[in-house]
Copies of this chain bind each other. A is one copy, B any other.
Amino acid sequence: MTSVNDDSRVGAAHVGRLLGMALLRIRAEILATTSERFPGLRVSHYRLLELIPPDGARITDLAEIATMTKQGLGQHVDYLQRLGYTTSERLPEDRRVRLVRRTPLGDEALAYSQAAIARVEERWSRQLGPDRYESFRQTLRELGAD
């Protein structure tokens, strides 16, 4: 009775579980290589830092890009701003709007997380060979765009 289902083996796992395991690895790699240098930043914050263009963006636009509510996104922005990773200012021509920008510290944190992702991509590319890895990425792109 303490045995597990056959499906719990990696070989028989369904595609949802396989995708989930791969995703967990990336998240773990990001945190492992950033958490000491940028304590308090979590994966969700790196995702938001990635979405901010160099000249800044409005909360409403970021929320749409992130497919989140502006309330939820605003909470992350407040958090990042408190820690010094973003700044924001009201637009003079429309003072309802808050333009959010990364600080230099935010740029640095983003570069770190992108380097972590790049390391995973390089490891996977070495493991599979560049052709198979590029083919894997291409498949993911097609499945995401269907």
* Contacting pair A58 B1 (CB below 8 A): yes
Is B22's CB under 8 angstroms from A65's CB? no
Interface string of A113-143 (1 = CB under 8 A from B): 0100100110010011000100111011111
With both beta carbons as reference points, the residue of chain B lying nearest to A125 in the complex is identified as B15
Is A36 on the interface with B (CB-CB < 8 A)?
A: no
Contact A128:B139 (CB < 8 A) given known A23-B20, A144-B18? yes
User: Is A13 in the interface zone, CB < 8 Å from B?
Assistant: yes
Interface of A is mostly: helix
Q: When each residue 19-32 of chain A gets 1 if its CB lies under 8 Å from chain B and 0 otherwise, what string results?
A: 11111011100100
- Residues on the B chain within 8 Å of A27, using CB: 16
Given contacts A4-B65, A5-B53, A21-B140, 9 further A-B contacts (CB under 8 A): A4-B57, A10-B144, A14-B121, A16-B26, A16-B30, A16-B117, A20-B23, A22-B144, A132-B135
* Chain A residues near B (Cβ < 8 Å): 1-5, 7-8, 10-11, 13-23, 25-27, 30, 47, 50-53, 55-58, 61, 65, 99, 114, 117, 120-121, 124, 127-128, 132, 135-137, 139-146
